[in-house]
């Protein structure tokens, strides 16, 4: 492509992006919807962030997703009116307009759209949550907003769980959210939904965080991990007759919503989701 190309450039900003599925998803949507755009990976060191953001126009970059470890760092460079950024304190989508950079958080909606599809409405349900990092913040934001009956949360770093409780109480003071000190204390037997928002399960050598005796057939197990497609946790859910899902649908739903922000296309979210799903199936 020559430098005078009219192709608008989009991409993913992060530190280590080797296995990202986002280019395949977004480039398929550009192709199928006939939009002149291209999605790339922008792998940057911390000191490269500010120069990158200041030179977007020179590179013809019109928007990008943001992933770890820059989801909070970029906040100082952008404007936003997005309710989820205000709640979660993290950005995953930035759009360049003629008068500046505008940020959004589509992780919360992405999780919500997919959870509704595979599990149904979470209102009134009791939830056990493993992990209290960035992804768990988005998950809790969605669950608290959806009026779940209870959230019990366990993270090896208690301060992170406390941070989530502070966040939830700031906008949903009536939410019943409890920090527990062990996986056993999550009382999964008594819950409707178990969510893994830790990275445990990404590696083949990782243990399964829960024992078979903790699961039951009326439980839904949602693992945010999507690679591998079936973690040990999900294999155990299958064995016990519980319903389950990995996090690929969340990834696709947040990507589809970002795509709408990038392109302002009137194509429905459902259609974009289907294009992205098809692209990943083909690549698998
Ligand atoms: P993160 O910020 O590192 O948070 C993970 C949290 O889990 C950390 O607080 C970590 O504590 C804690 N943890 C680690 N081992 C644990 C254990 N054995 N028991 C309880 N807590 C434990 O990571 P993240 O960005 O939230 O991502 C979490 C997972 O979600 C990753 O696997 C990621 O790939 C996945 N994810 C999926 C999507 C999607 O679209 N499907 C989106 C975002 C993230 P320490 O920091 O002390 O280790």
**Is 3 a residue whose pLDDT tops 90?**
no
Q: Which of 263, 260, 254 is nearest to 35 (CA)?
A: 263
Task: Answer yes or no: pTM beyond 0.85.
Answer: yes
Q: Residues with catalytic annotation?
A: 71
- pLDDT for position 4: 58
Is residue 90 within 6 Å of ligand 1 at its C-beta? no
Is residue 22 within 6 Å of ligand 1 at its C-beta? no
- Segment 62-69 mean pLDDT: 97
Say how many Å lie between the CA of residue 205 and the centre of ligand 1.
Answer: 16
Under a CB-based contact definition with an 8 Å cutoff, are residues 257 and 269 in contact?
A: yes
Is residue 69 within 6 Å of ligand 1 at its C-beta? no
- Segment 228-238 mean pLDDT: 97
- Segment 85-109 mean pLDDT: 96
Distance between CA 249 and CA 255 in Å, rounded? Answer: 10
Is residue 156 within 6 Å of ligand 1 at its C-beta? yes
Q: How many CB atoms lie within 10 A of CB 256?
A: 27
Strands 93-97 and 61-66: antiparallel
- pLDDT for position 275: 98
- pLDDT for position 94: 98
- pLDDT for position 252: 98
**Is 201 a residue whose pLDDT tops 70?**
yes
Say how many Å lie between the CA of residue 132 and the centre of ligand 1.
Answer: 7
Is residue 100 within 6 Å of ligand 1 at its C-beta? no
Burial class of residue 183 (count of CB atoms within 10 Å of its CB; 0-12, 13-18, 19+): middle
Say how many Å lie between the CA of residue 199 and the centre of ligand 1.
Answer: 4
Say how many Å lie between the CA of residue 133 and the centre of ligand 1.
Answer: 5
- Segment 184-193 mean pLDDT: 98
Say how many Å lie between the CA of residue 198 and the centre of ligand 1.
Answer: 3
Distance between CA 108 and CA 59 in Å, rounded? Answer: 29
* CA distance to 13, 46, 103, per residue, from 26 (Å): 14, 25, 18
Q: How confident is the model at residue 2 (pLDDT cuts 50, 70, 90)?
A: very low
pLDDT tens for residues 250-283? Answer: 999 999 999 999 999 999 999 999 999 999 997 6
- pLDDT for position 266: 97
Which residue's C-alpha comes closest to atom 20 of ligand 1? Answer: 155
Is residue 225 within 6 Å of ligand 1 at its C-beta? yes
- Residues with Cβ within 8 Å of residue 190, at least 6 apart in sequence: 126
- Segment 225-250 mean pLDDT: 97
> Could you say which DSSP state residue 226 is in?
-
- Segment 103-124 mean pLDDT: 97
Q: Which atom of ligand 1 is the closest one to the Cα of 200? A: 15
Sign of the torsion angle spanned by Cα atoms 202, 206, 209, 215: positive
Q: Which of 204, 241, 239, 256 is nearest to 225 (CA)?
A: 204
- pLDDT for position 282: 79
Q: Which of 111, 157, 180, 198 for a ligand 1 pocket mutation test, highest count of atoms within 8 Å of Cβ? A: 198
């Amino acid at each position: 492509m020559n430098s005078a190309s009219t192709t608008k450039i989009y991409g993913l900003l992060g530190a280590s992006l080797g296995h990202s599925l986002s280019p395949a998803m977004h480039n398929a949507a550009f192709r199928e919807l006939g939009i002149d755009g291209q999605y790339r990976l922008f792998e940057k060191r911390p000191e490269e962030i500010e120069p990158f953001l200041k030179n977007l126009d020179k590179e013809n970059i019109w928007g990008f997703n943001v992933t770890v470890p820059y989801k909070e760092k970029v906040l100082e460079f952008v404007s936003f009116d997005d309710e989820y950024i205000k709640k979660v304190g993290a950005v995953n989508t930035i759009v360049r307009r003629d008068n500046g950079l505008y940020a959004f958080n589509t992780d919360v909606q992405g999780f919500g759209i997919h959870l509704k599809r595979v599990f149904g409405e979470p209102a009134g349900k009791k939830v056990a949550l493993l992990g209290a990092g960035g992804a768990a913040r988005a998950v809790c934001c969605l669950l608290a907003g959806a009026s779940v009956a209870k959230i019990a949360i366990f993270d090896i770093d208690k301060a992170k769980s406390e941070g989530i409780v502070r966040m939830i109480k700031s906008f949903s003071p009536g939410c019943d959210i409890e920090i527990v000190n062990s996986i056993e204390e999550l009382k999964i037997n008594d819950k409707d939904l178990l969510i893994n928002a830790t990275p445990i399960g990404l590696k083949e050598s990782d243990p399964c965080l829960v024992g078979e005796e903790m699961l039951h057939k009326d439980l839904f197990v949602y693992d945010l991990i999507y690679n591998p497609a079936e973690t040990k946790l999900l294999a155990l859910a299958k064995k016990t007759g519980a319903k389950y899902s990995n996090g690929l649908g969340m990834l696709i739903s947040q990507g589809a919503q970002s795509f709408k922000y990038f392109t302002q296309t009137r194509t429905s979210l459902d259609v974009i989701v289907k294009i992205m799903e098809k692209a990943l199936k083909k690549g698998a």
